[in-house]
Amino acid sequence: MNFNNRTARKLYMRRELAAQAVLKARFPTNTCQNATDTGQARQPPPPEDPSVFQYTPPHSGLATRRPALKQAKTSRGHSIFRGVILWHESLLELRVSYLLQTWHHVREIHSQYPRVTFVDADGKTRTHTFDYYVVFEDGRRLAIAVKMNRKRAGMLDMLRRIEEAGVSHRSGRRLADQTLLMTEKDGNVASFHNCSEILAARETHTPAAVEELREIVRRMTGRFRFMTLLAGCRNVAARRSAIWRLIDLGELVAEGKARIDDLAWLTLGKSDPVPSEETKASKGKHTCPAVIPSRPAATPIPSYLWGVPTAIAKARATTSRSSRTA
């Protein structure tokens, strides 16, 4: 052992002895030894403090298989929803996973479940594992298959055969009440961006900012830009998070199904948070309201609610027309 190693070992031993001395001073073992020697029972540990955060490791839930984390042709990984790991084997499955997490009245979401059997066109028994499994608060169970739209015809035929077999594994109990096919038309890039913002707002929004924005929105009529709600506020990050929170709650609805940015039009109303096969754009029906051709007159809002100083508001009102159009 050279000189450097001996010196490092001595320093390590000194730190260990110092740490043991501190622990003995803070947690004496005399009381525990006396209780053991006299035959007295040990007292139960103190109850857990609910205010203290305790880490609970996530688990795979009902997943029947664990996909490989690395693959040369696909994007693989996982996300976490209420302590359950949701595996994805492609970017499309990741987008659909984020979309499912934004649905309301959802109690559980599992990936790679259930595993069912069915009989194909050749009379052979096949096995299929659904990508996602959603359990709603009312007990309804939904098995979701994720595929590209070019494979839609074959997937719908397979789902029909699975329904005929009872959505079960080897003629066992029924594992899902309904099956659903989701493609890139459901989990597109715009939807992925919107869902990411909604999930972030659920964790980062502040109730005070949401209530302040709710009071402002109640006095507005017609449609308005996303950026209009950001004008004059002191904390732009808190206001932006509050806007996405109201979008999540359905109090603000974006026109169309494109990506919601600062130039997006917003209206007041409620929207259906759980889309179905009958409410897709391909069927000729839309869950979002139609675009309003003309903008109604907006309701005047006091400047103090917007965070704009009154002097600036008066200066804007007294500005000449030529200076505004210059």
Q: What is the pLDDT of residues 114-157, one digit of tens each?
A: 999 999 999 999 999 999 999 999 999 999 999 999 999 999 99
Arithmetic mean of pLDDT, 62-87: 87
Locate tokens 């709600």: which residue? Answer: 229
Which pLDDT score is estimated for 184? 93
Are the C-beta atoms of residues 97 and 111 closer than 8 Å to each other?
yes
State both tokens at 214.
Answer: 């709710």
Distance CA 226, CA 303 (A): 18
Higher pLDDT pick, 270 / 253: 253
Distance CA 144, CA 132 (A): 5
Are the C-beta atoms of residues 180 and 214 closer than 8 Å to each other?
no
Arithmetic mean of pLDDT, 191-211: 94
What confidence category does residue 288 fall into, taking pLDDT thresholds of 50, 70 and 90?
Answer: very low
Least confident of 135-139, 187-191, 269-273: 269-273
Distance CA 86, CA 195 (A): 16
State both tokens at 72.
Answer: 């040369």
Which pLDDT score is estimated for 266? 94
Arithmetic mean of pLDDT, 192-202: 95
Are the C-beta atoms of residues 95 and 192 closer than 8 Å to each other?
yes
Arithmetic mean of pLDDT, 212-227: 92
Q: Would you give the end-to-end CA distance of the chain in angstroms?
A: 83
Omega within 30 of 0 (cis) for the link into 309 = no
Which pLDDT score is estimated for 295? 36
Return mean pLDDT, the chain: 78
State both tokens at 86.
Answer: 């949701």
What confidence category does residue 190 fall into, taking pLDDT thresholds of 50, 70 and 90?
Answer: very high
Q: Per-residue pLDDT for 38 more than 70?
A: no
Distance CA 89, CA 108 (A): 20
Arithmetic mean of pLDDT, 231-256: 93
Bridge partners, 133 (sequence order): 110, 143
CATH 3.40.1350.10 fits 77-182, yes or no: yes
Arithmetic mean of pLDDT, 303-312: 39
Arithmetic mean of pLDDT, 279-297: 36
Which 8-state DSSP code applies to residue 111? E
What confidence category does residue 23 fall into, taking pLDDT thresholds of 50, 70 and 90?
Answer: confident
Delimit the domains of the chain by residue range. 77-182, 202-311
Higher pLDDT pick, 43 / 233: 233
Distance CA 205, CA 245 (A): 7
Which pLDDT score is estimated for 270? 63
Angle at 135 between CA 253 and CA 247, to 5 degrees: 15
Q: Per-residue pLDDT for 292 more than 60?
A: no
Which pLDDT score is estimated for 297? 40
Higher pLDDT pick, 296 / 174: 174
Q: How far is CA 105 from CA 97, 180, 273, in A?
A: 16, 18, 9
Which pLDDT score is estimated for 247? 94
- Structure-derived torsion over alpha carbons of residues 286, 291, 292, 294, reported in degrees to the nearest 10: -160
Segment 245-260, tens digit of pLDDT: 999 999 999 998 899 9
Which pLDDT score is estimated for 22? 76
Nearest partner of 272 among 254, 287, 290, 257, judged by Cα: 287
Distance CA 79, CA 69 (A): 13
Q: Per-residue pLDDT for 104 more than 60?
A: yes
